[in-house]
Structure formats: C-alpha cells, structure tokens
Amino acid sequence: MECPECKAQVKVSARQCDGCGADFGPPVDRQPARQQSDASKYAIIIGVALAAIILVFVLANMAGSVTCKECKGKKVKKCLNCKGERPKCLECKGSGADPQTFSQCQRCKGSGTSSVCQQCKGVPTKSCPGCKGTGSKSR
C-alpha cells in the first residue's frame, strides 16, 4: 500500500509509515471466510452422487448395444399385411379379383379388404420379436 503523506510503499498491516511516521490508525480487521452450512455441503454431495449415478446408468445402457434392425429402434413391428390400416384380403391380396378364375373374389366380395386381418387378428402392432421391445440389441 502507499502512504498518503509521503507516497512511500508500506506493508498493508503497518500501523504507521516508516519514512514519515504518519499514523494509519488501527488495522482493519478482515472478515473471516464465511463457512458453508451443513445443508449446502450435503446438497453438493448429493448432487455429485446423483450425477455419477446418472452417468453410470447412461454409459451402461449405451455400451454394447446397437439399434435393432428389425424395428429400427421403434420397439414395435407393424403387421406386413395391413400395416395398421384396413386389412387386405388374403385370398385376392387386395385386388378384389379371384386370381384363379379372374372373377370377383368370393371372400371379400370384390372389395379387396377384410373386416379383420387374418395375419395379425386385429392387432396390427406388437412388440418387436428381434429386440423384445427394447429398441436395441446387445452386440
């Protein structure tokens, strides 16, 4: 620090100037460092532990798994016959005509559709058999 009287450099803790003898008054007490409360210490510890648990969980789920190629990660497979829409008639494959006689299909009466899909029995989406509904396969 600098003496206000003679501009000489003096120690911060000095009570007077060594050069001119100017009195600086009593030393200024510095406030002691503020202590952290126990609650904030526990909050920090819990936050770090939670972050570590999340990181371990994410890394464990990422390591060794790839997206399922059958369902492309969607976890379900749609029926190939109806694709969740109005189901095609299995007899005429949706054309409405009997492929053997080239006349109107007897099963669907020429509409090309069926009331209930014969392959999925009315349940067009089901859990993917390749990944068992997880969306990923282990390597």
pLDDT for 84 equals 67
139: burial class by Cβ within 10 Å (0-12, 13-18, 19+)?
Answer: exposed
pLDDT digits (tens, 9 = 90+) for 1-53: 788 788 888 777 777 887 787 777 766 556 666 777 888 889 999 999 999 99
Look at residue 93 and tell me whether its pLDDT is greater than 90: no
pLDDT for 43 equals 92
Q: What angle do CA 98, 99, 101 make, to 5 degrees?
A: 65
Q: What value does the mean pLDDT take over residues 111-126?
A: 80
pLDDT digits (tens, 9 = 90+) for 71-85: 888 888 888 777 767
d(CA 70, CA 133): 11
